[in-house]
Amino acid sequence: MVSRKIIRLFKRRRGNLDRRVKRDYIRNGIATIPCRITDYSDIISAYSVKGYETLNPDFADYCKTTAELTPPECPLVLEIIGDCLSDEEKNTVEDIITDDFAYDLGVVEKEEKKHIRVFYGMLFGMMVSGAALWLMNGMAEIPRELFFILFWFMGETLCDYIFLTGHDLRRERRLAGQLASAKIVFSETFSEPEYTDDDVEKLFTEIEKDVKKTIREEKKGV
């Protein structure tokens, strides 16, 4: 039997994520996420009551997972496909999708602000402990070791924020911003999305207005 180095072949195998994403989702710089539904509860949780609706977790996870594959510079269009929604339900779906993803964005923003405060606190502490180490040069070993441990602990925390936690938070922040700004459209059947330059310009203008509106509301404390 001929010996085949199959493990080496598997290791050399390469995927092509960018080509798949561009083929399936991206048209003229816009990422469309098709969402086929058969019932209102596919989007809105069946446990919700009128006036206090929330998204079906499976629907939210599907949108987040798919959006995570798209390039960060691409605005999103969520296309709800099905003929099972009334006009009132469409309005509710559009409002709840926007509100729930905006809530997720707020959670990420709050977490990011907390980590920024920790970052500056650790940076200040690292400067103080570093200065203390320099001033205590030649003194007893025990207090110097304590400041040395403190210095390296703060330095490690800063590196974690810059290269690990901070990177993840920035990615989550970008994704949450994309989803919170997504345009929702409804169709009865799926057709290959096509966007003209005018469509792209209109979508970017709508997103820009929405972003400016949220900034004004934040300044007013709304």
The domain ranges of the chain are 26-57+74-217
Contacts of 113 (CB under 8 A, 6+ apart): none
- Contact between 128 and 103 under an 8 Å Cβ cutoff? The reply is no
User: CA 147, CA 132: separation in Å to the nearest integer?
Assistant: 7
Phi, psi of 195 (to 5 degrees): -125, 125
User: CA 41, CA 125: separation in Å to the nearest integer?
Assistant: 51
Give the pLDDT confidence of 6-65 residue by residue, as tens digits.
888 888 888 777 777 788 789 999 999 999 999 999 999 999 999 999 999 999 999 999
- Contact between 69 and 144 under an 8 Å Cβ cutoff? The reply is no
Contacts of 67 (CB under 8 A, 6+ apart): 31, 33, 76, 175, 178, 179, 182
Mean pLDDT, residues 137-163: 71
Average pLDDT, the chain: 86
